[in-house]
Structure 1
Amino acid sequence: MKAIQLNNPEDPRSLALVETDTPKLRDGEVLVKVHAAGVNRGDLLQARGHYPPPPGASDIIGLECSGVIEDPGTTGRTIGEEVACLLAGGGYAEYVAVPEGQLMPIPEGYSLTEAASVVEAACTVWSNLGMLAGVQEGQTVLIHGGAGGIGTFAIQLCKQLGATVAVTAGSAEKLETCRELGADILINYREQDFSEELKGRCDVILDIIGAKYLRQNLRSLAADGQLIIIGLQGGVKTEINLGALLPRRLSVRGTTLRARSLAGKAEVVASTVEHVWPMLSDARITHHIHATLPLADAAKAHDLLDSGAVTGKIVLEV
């Protein structure tokens, strides 16, 4: 098969379409002929050597895809069945082996390309804001990077859960996108200190920045507030006064989806299909695709995502 591989470990943009072996199936896996693969920040990190796949996973980049089952293996699934897939790796390829528990139906009314754009975001957002934080009606949720793939999905989900949504973004254009998706409080992080605007008001914060924002995030939380850190774009180390947590009973939680066990991922996938897929099917939540590129242009897709100009998701079509 053809797949994207890194030709030069010193150059994260040396992504080329090359011939490689088609994956061999393990028990409980299906072989999917890939139609499209979503592009994520984790893909950029892997290309830079900072986000290796878990042991036993494909070293090919790609955390989500859609396609058609080519070989059901031992699962009893149907050849030709259209599926969306949550992956530990392998999406930037013509074929990928997927554990059955990480297969999802195509949302009603969605094309395969559209489906590939929502898997990672839906599973990440629901597992953190729905399953972990338990966002409820009347709460205030702050979403950093509101115009990105995770952010655009999280805004819509939180509005469906009845929350007030605050977002940070770096331009008026991106904030307008957030407003159109339902965000209530718009903060330009280049011009405003979000912790001044939101001091003590946030019940839940979904954070992709990490160390750089930690003090401000804690300042923004209300009593019993939860800070959920899912990304470290702003660094991994900082110093805080732990005394700030105790009086307001604050929680700081770090999570990742890729490193979870097969059972853990299957639980997230099943819950996402149960709770979120109906919102996609009836358009209460919509996909937001910024650009679609051919698989061979993976390097261009990474350049585009890294530029900061992207609103929503980039999808590679095979």
Structure 2
Amino acid sequence: MTRLHTLFLIGMLALLISTPTFALTGRVINQTLNRPEPDIEVSYILHETGDVTVVRDTTDSKGQFILDVPSDPGAEPPPMLFARYNGIDYPGNPAPAGDTVDIPVFETTESDTAISLSSHHILLDAQAGTATYIFIVHNHGDHTYLTGGDHGHGLEIPLPDGVTDFIRAPQGVHLHGTLLVDPRPIIPGNSQTFFTFSIPPSNRIAQRITYPTAGMDLLVQPTDTPVSTTVLRDLGDVTLGTNVFRRFGAEQLAPGTQIDIALSSPETASNLQTPIWIAATSMVVVAILVIYMRTLKTVPNRRTILLEQIADLDERYESGELSEDDYKNRRNALKAEVIDLSDSN
């Protein structure tokens, strides 16, 4: 066999065993101005075992892009697609071969008149002496709410009476006097934020509603904790994942409504911020966020998608679907992406 024939066969073999790809086509559409957006960077990210595939393109004068991406619509975790407009990542839905994807982007505004809460969840752990607020935020306008950087204002939540600091919150969340401020952009649709704080020495949580709130849940552990509250009704026990809570709830709360929650005799743990406690609380918060985000069919941002993928990996590993090496490699890749996002914000 001649050298030319050998090289030809090697080339053909490489083509046969290479990963199949397809052309993912789409457009970036400015939903505020009702026009296609040119010169926008679009990124496709696929996490695989021990590897990350990133494919990018820039939209043309008609807002169109073409990405030559791996042909694996059933990939686990699923791929991510984003268009970056005015410094904000807007998610798209990676489509199977042959479908066209439209990625919506928006102009920004400093007005919060279109902001409300689809739901406000209070996770109260009487044994640990902590409370976690989880907000599902709804932007019903056609502008992204943005007010200028980590030290600017943004989504503003008054701290409960007697609370002067928080234990955990997303990157960039900070205090401005008695307000907790999340400065991250809020794109039209639903998004989420949370923070954890120690229950005040008074064993009372007094909270004023700032944004119109469609529903509020108080989820208490242990379920036999003596609790009294105004406005919220006792709805009995509820199971979320592997956790059982006593649930209180109310609907359609107007701005200015005052919520009072009192614990008769809470048992406060002495080691609130140990690594074990932080890890356990993180798992519960992520689980509740995933459950409610899926239920509400929210439009996720990049960090939300990564958190959902990490939670899904944890479930699949615990059920024996993934080997330990595969699980660790995929989880580390996703965690690295979360860290990169946090550093860039």
- Establish whether TM, by shorter chain, passes 0.5: no
Q: TM-score, normalised to structure 2's length?
A: 0.29
Q: In proportion to residue count, which structure has more helix?
A: 1
RCO comparison, higher one (Cα < 8 Å, 6+): 1
Q: In proportion to residue count, which structure has more strand?
A: 2
